Amino acid sequence: MKVVELFKQRGEILSKQHAELMQKMPPAMREYWEELLTKTNNFHLFSWIRDFHQPAVNEEVSLPNDAENVALKRESAIFDQESLKLTPEAQALYEELREKIGEVIHVGGWLHIDQDRINQFGTVTEDTQWIHTDPERASVESPFKTTIAHGFLTLALLPKLTDSVNPEVPLFPTAKMVVNVGLNQVRFPYPVKSGDRVRAKSILTKVTPVRKGLEIEREIRVEIDGVRRPGCIVVSVIQLHF
């Protein structure tokens, strides 16, 4: 499915869900709800609605009172319970993954980080600092006596290192689509030097039902062959759609 079609389909679903919620509300509450959507910036009932009704910078907003919050949260709980029903495939994977929290769920193969790969990344990102791209100078002036990979190059390789882009060995084969939500934490304890081999080890830390699937958190450690300290440690967040 094309990205444009995906967003269009999501928009249609959200509009339908919003209309159904509005029908459930008493008239008075419906008026409050419409007013909230246009005024508030700190109301966290539905993030997908809030994002489309952000006030302008420095715009004055009024917050809902406690009674309005309680009533609307009650409606939200009912709505969320209905919308978070998992498909059989998602439910089965959820039960399976809950038993693996804290365990290593994937160890990738070794990947060679050569100077050509580092140079290409520097060209694409316009980060051509000598510590990355000038082996002669690095051999004299760098404390590592060689060039090192960009930290963001290591991050950019995570899909490859975790086999997330290999259709032949999918980590979650029952999922129709895997979406990268982001990284909660990123650290580079030790530099990856030109010529090093690296691999990723993934530890499952959390699994949560979300709309259309599951949200998964993993601690990913990028190991360097022959080095005790990892080149990178991140907490990755992905969503599986079924």
211: pLDDT confidence band, cut at 50, 70 and 90? confident
Structure tokens at 183: 């990284």
Give dist(CA 103, CA 226) in Å, integer: 23
240, β-bridge pairs? 178, 214
Domains for the chain: give ranges and CATH numbers.
3-83 (no CATH), 89-241 (3.10.129.10)
Give dist(CA 12, CA 6) in Å, integer: 10
Cβ–Cβ under 8 Å, residues 204 and 218: yes
Q: What is the pLDDT of residues 156-177, one digit of tens each?
A: 999 999 998 888 888 899 999 9
- If residue 146 lies in a helix (H) or strand (E), which one and from where to where? none
Please tell me which residue, 172 or 49, carries the higher pLDDT value: 172
- If residue 27 lies in a helix (H) or strand (E), which one and from where to where? helix 27-39
Give dist(CA 190, CA 222) in Å, integer: 10
Question: Residue holding tokens 């290593």?
Answer: 104
Output the pLDDT for position 8: 58
What is the percentage of the chain residues whose pLDDT exceeds 70?
A: 65
Cβ–Cβ under 8 Å, residues 117 and 153: yes
Question: Residue holding tokens 């062959």?
Answer: 225
Please tell me which residue, 54 or 34, carries the higher pLDDT value: 34
104: pLDDT confidence band, cut at 50, 70 and 90? very high
Structure tokens at 217: 């958190």
